[in-house]
Structure 1
Amino acid sequence: MTDSAVAASQGSARQDTDELLYEARDGIARITFNRPEARNALTFAMYEKLAAICEAVNHDPSIRVMVITGAGDKAFAAGTDISQFRAFSTPEDALGYEARIDRVLGTIDRCRVPVIAAIVGACTGGGAGIAARCDIRIGSANARFGFPIARTLGNCLSIANLARLSQLIGPARVKDMIFTARLVEAEEAQRIGLLSEVLDTPEAARRRADELATMMVGHAPLTMQATKEGLRRIAEHNAPAEGQDLILMCYMSQDFREGMEAFLNKRPPRFKGE
Structure 2
Amino acid sequence: MASPVSDIREERRGAVAWITFDRPAARNSFTKAMYADLRELCGRLAADDAVRVVVFQGRGDDAFVAGSDIASVGEIRTREDAQAYEAHVEATLGAVERLPKPTIALIRGVAAGGGAALALVCDIRVAAENARFGVPIARTVGNTLSLLNVARMVEVLGPATTKELLFTAELVDAPEAHRRGAVSAVLPLAEIERYVSDLAGSLAANAPLTLRTSKLAVLASLDARRAALGPGNEIVELAYLSEDFREGTTAFLEKRKPVWKGR
Give the TM-score normalised by structure 1.
0.92
Aligned residue for 1:230?
217
Q: Does 1:144 align with 2:132?
A: yes
Aligned residue for 1:249?
238
Aligned residue for 2:50?
62
Deviation at 1:112, TM superposition (A): 0.5
**Partner deviation per Cα, 1:72-91 (whole Å, 9 max, x = no partner):** 11100100010112322111
Aligned residue for 2:143?
155
Aligned residue for 1:28?
16
Within 2, Cα distance between the matches of 1:264 and 1:155? 15
The one of 230, 248, 259 aligned to 1:259: 248
**Partner deviation per Cα, 1:74-132 (whole Å, 9 max, x = no partner):** 10010001011232211111111111111111111210110001000000011110100
Within 2, Cα distance between the matches of 1:261 and 1:253? 13
Residue aligned with 1:128, SS: helix
Within 2, Cα distance between the matches of 1:138 and 1:177? 19
Within 2, Cα distance between the matches of 1:52 and 1:193? 30
Aligned residue for 1:101?
89
Aligned residue for 2:64?
76
Within 2, Cα distance between the matches of 1:60 and 1:160? 28
Aligned residue for 1:206?
193
Aligned residue for 1:215?
202
Residue aligned with 2:57, SS: strand
- Runs of 4+ in structure 1 deviating by more than 6 angstroms, as ranges, are none
Give the TM-score normalised by structure 2.
0.96
Conserved 8 A contact 2:104-2:126: yes
Residues 113-124 of structure 1 aligned to structure 2 (within 5 Å): 113-124=101-112
Aligned residue for 1:111?
99
**Partner deviation per Cα, 1:39-60 (whole Å, 9 max, x = no partner):** 1111111111211121111211
Identity %: 44
Q: Does 1:273 align with 2:262?
A: yes
Residue aligned with 1:58, SS: helix
**Partner deviation per Cα, 1:173-218 (whole Å, 9 max, x = no partner):** 11000100010110011111111100011x3112211111111111
Conserved 8 A contact 2:65-2:112: yes
Deviation at 1:171, TM superposition (A): 1.0
Residue aligned with 1:66, SS: strand
Conserved 8 A contact 2:2-2:9: no
The one of 164, 178, 181 aligned to 1:176: 164
**How many residues end up aligned between the 2 structures?**
261
Structure 1: segments with no counterpart, 5+ residues: 8-14
